[in-house]
Amino acid sequence: MKRLATQPITAFFQRKRARRISIDDIESVDSASDSDQHSKDDEEKEQQDQAQQEPNKRHRLRAHREDLMGILQRRELEGCTTSAQFIGGRQALRRRRKQQLVRWALTQFRTLPVKLHLSPQWERQARTLSIGDFYASCLEFDTQGVLLAAGASNGVIALYDFDDVFHRSINLGQRMSIREQREKEIDVDAESTEHETKPVDEILHPIHTIFVPFEVKCIRWNPSNQDEIACSFSNRNEIHLFSLGKFPSKSYKVLKSSSHPSSGYNDLLYLPGPEAPKPRQMGMHALKTKPREKTNYIIAGDMDGAIRMWDLRFPVRPVWSFFTGSQPINSMILSPNKQFLICGNEAGMLMTYDIKNKVVPAFGSKPVPQRKASINVMDAIKRI
């Protein structure tokens, strides 16, 4: 066949023109390459900075890490941050000064030259009653700080009178301060004078002694009647009340729990009842009526985790009783308004109960105090 035309075959394809390279294109390429290089350099610098900051950060954290006792001491002096928001500046300063004053007073305390001993008769009797050595298991001063009730592991309850001892110690301290001033003026040798003026320990015997055949666990004075003490014992479902005005040898009342016997009460406290209403001053009959005695209650926490309250007029049946858990109750305290009971158990739990506003549990018939809050002390310290 003959070709109809003499055009080459490449004429049927579209010719692609070469792209002209401008100065702007060259600058854009250079800037892109520079940015890539800079990004790589920045990444390397960041990695180096992070590598340098890691040991610095660890050192900083290690330097700012405070001991637990330091935190607690600072909070004791300055108060925590949450309470500082509510407490004014003056109150916080006053609180700090008070804590500093207490610490200074504690450093200035001196031991009294007094030794507490039982009378020879009771020492012989205690040795015959107990095979091993006995020790003081609890101590409790009255509200005036004059009478000391001491309980022992062999069942001895001894009462010591510190009135004369305090007066003699004050006079002795004054005499020693006067002598020290004179010694400074005369420049006498201090060692010889201290050896000469060293006080001899005085032996103080109890004014009254009571014996019970159980280990005394806790002693509490009645705040409304200073002639009465309450005592609990180890492994004993009893709380004994003693009237000290008549120098008794036995308790005049025993508190028990008949429904759920206890295995011993670690702590107890007195709860003053509401004041009796005053009789109206109308007629001779109102004048002759005797005012009602103020009712007192006792709250006790036992080894089984139960808390009970007794009305002293009905010693056999508690007013209410409830279980906080299986751990023993170690300590209890009342709020200043006598509405909340704060107790701590052996597992490190602090629990708050409202003893005025009680509720009836699901499977109970009597109202019991309602739990308001509970906190684990160790977990709270770890989160500080």
CA–CA dist 72, 78 (Å, integer): 10
Q: Over range 130-145, report the average pLDDT.
A: 82
Does residue 33 sit in helix, strand or coil? helix
Asked if the structure places residue 198 within a domain, the reply is no
Asked if the structure places residue 70 within a domain, the reply is no
Q: What range defines the domain where residue 304 resides?
A: 262-384
Q: What percent of the chain has pLDDT over 70?
A: 57
Q: Over range 44-55, report the average pLDDT.
A: 67
Whether pLDDT at 171 is above 80: no
H or E stretch at 149: strand 147-152
Look up the CATH number of the domain holding residue 301: 2.40.128
301: nearest Cα among 342, 339, 270, 267: 267
Structure-block tokens of residue 287: 């004048």
The whole-number pLDDT of residue 29 equals: 46
Question: Where does 154-285 show beta strands of DSSP type E?
Answer: 156-161, 202-204, 208-211, 216-222, 225-233, 239-243, 253-255, 265-272
Asked if the structure places residue 291 within a domain, the reply is yes
Q: pLDDT tens, 23-48?
A: 455 455 455 555 555 566 667 777 77
348: nearest Cα among 320, 380, 312, 373: 380
CA–CA dist 230, 255 (Å, integer): 10
CA–CA dist 216, 236 (Å, integer): 10
Asked if the structure places residue 10 within a domain, the reply is no
Asked if the structure places residue 76 within a domain, the reply is no
Higher pLDDT, 319 or 294: 319
Asked if the structure places residue 318 within a domain, the reply is yes
What type of residue sits at position 23?
Answer: I
131-135, 176-180, 214-218: segment of lowest average pLDDT: 176-180
* First vs last C-alpha separation in the chain: 102
In the chain, the number of structural domains is 1
Asked if the structure places residue 241 within a domain, the reply is no
Asked if the structure places residue 302 within a domain, the reply is yes
Whether pLDDT at 19 is above 90: no
Flag whether the pTM goes above 0.85: no
Higher pLDDT, 182 or 319: 319
266: nearest Cα among 226, 314, 299: 299
